[in-house]
Amino acid sequence: MEQATLFQEMSLKPEPLREKNDVQYFHLAAKTILNSCNTCRMPNAVTLNPYRGCEFGCAYCYARYTHEFMELPWGDFERRIFVKTAAPGILLRTLDVEKLRGKHVAIGSATDPYQPAESRFHLTRRLLEVFAQVRGLSISLTTKSALVKRDIDLFLKIGERNDFRVNVSLISLNAALLRALEPKSSTPEARLGALKSITEAGVPAGVLLMPIIPALTDSERTLESVIRAAAAHGAQYVHGRVLFLKDSAKRSFYEFLKRTTPHLHSRYSRIYGKRIYTSDEYQREILSKVKRLKEKYNLNQRDKEFEPYEVVDHTGNLFENQCDRTRPTAAGEKM
């Protein structure tokens, strides 16, 4: 795999690789590209993110904390994009198929692999070219960009010898709402068009209804509109998950609420408080609606990758919430 040579190593005060409007791109040196994530929430997973930071600037994005690791403010998450320019070469040298047996490779678990930077740097495509050379892996790719259909040829090659699928993230068909929540992402129409192109080509794909946002996208009408559209555009599955808010995401999302729906800010502050999740009762109610709608549109396929987000254990508690709950839910508390 040819290595990129036009980029300089990142110094303590890095110079941008390129600039576009208010966005700067920087080279990010990396020794590894696949990251083990054997956690309660993502058991036996291996994650791959070609970029750190994401121009889509989703108000709710949990991955904003990764910029804080570099002592950057969370607000720079969509303005300072770090490009792992050597990633394809690293993957080619280090990919060990035998060690990945029984694991799942999740591309785009934190930042979108088809954000606008991909049109310039082509990292995701070059990484896919490496995966097209191996067999026997379980791989998924998650995006909210219509650019994903550019690589259908590679999806087909990878899928010939691997278990491969594409997850299209879509939480509402309300274009104005998504423009506010996910400022630079593709429109709902464009995402659904990409989904149709992918599934008509024979690539397994579905929709991630994540996150379901209380009081904004959690009505049965909204949920059904997304699930119905997913089915109409060839989706083989839909998976849902209610919004969770870690500290960096909480700051960003609360700023969004103050700007757009100030009447909801105090409500969110009261219900989430210092916690990450809404109440189990609320989540059970929402996920029950999603399950019923999935059954209605024949999209109730089970999936080990997302099952932890959707199941309730024998005690009636949501499995996922046991991963990092900060305190018990107060009796009768709802969102």
Asked whether the beta carbons of 245 and 60 are under 8 A apart, the reply is yes
Q: Please give the model's pTM, rounded to 2 decimal places.
A: 0.87
Residue 69 pLDDT grade (very low, low, confident, very high; cuts 50, 70, 90)? low
Print burial letters for 223-247: b (CB count within 10 Å at least 16), e (below 16).
bbbbbebbbebbbbbbbbbbbbbee
Mean pLDDT value across the chain: 86
| pLDDT tens per residue across span 95-153 | 999 999 999 999 999 999 999 999 999 999 999 999 999 999 999 999 999 999 999 99
The pLDDT score that the predictor gives to residue 262 is 94
The pLDDT score that the predictor gives to residue 334 is 42
| pLDDT tens per residue across span 182-239 | 999 999 999 999 999 999 999 999 999 999 999 999 999 999 999 999 999 999 999 9
Residue 24 pLDDT grade (very low, low, confident, very high; cuts 50, 70, 90)? very high
Amino acid at 304: K
Residue 311 pLDDT grade (very low, low, confident, very high; cuts 50, 70, 90)? low
Q: Evaluate the CA torsion angle 307, 311, 315, 317 in order and state its sign.
A: positive
Of 2-11, 33-42, 111-120, 159-168, the range with the lowest mean pLDDT is: 2-11
- Which pairs with CB-CB distance under 8 Å and at least 24 residues apart come from 300-304? 300/237, 301/206, 301/236, 301/237, 303/237, 303/239, 304/104
Closest to 54 in 3D by CA, of 27, 23, 86, 28:
23
The helix (run of H) or strand (run of E) holding residue 142 is strand 138-143
| pLDDT tens per residue across span 254-292 | 999 999 999 999 999 888 988 999 988 999 999 999 999
Kind of pairing, strands 23-27 and 18-20?
A: antiparallel
Average pLDDT over residues 5-14: 35
Class of domain 18-322: alpha beta
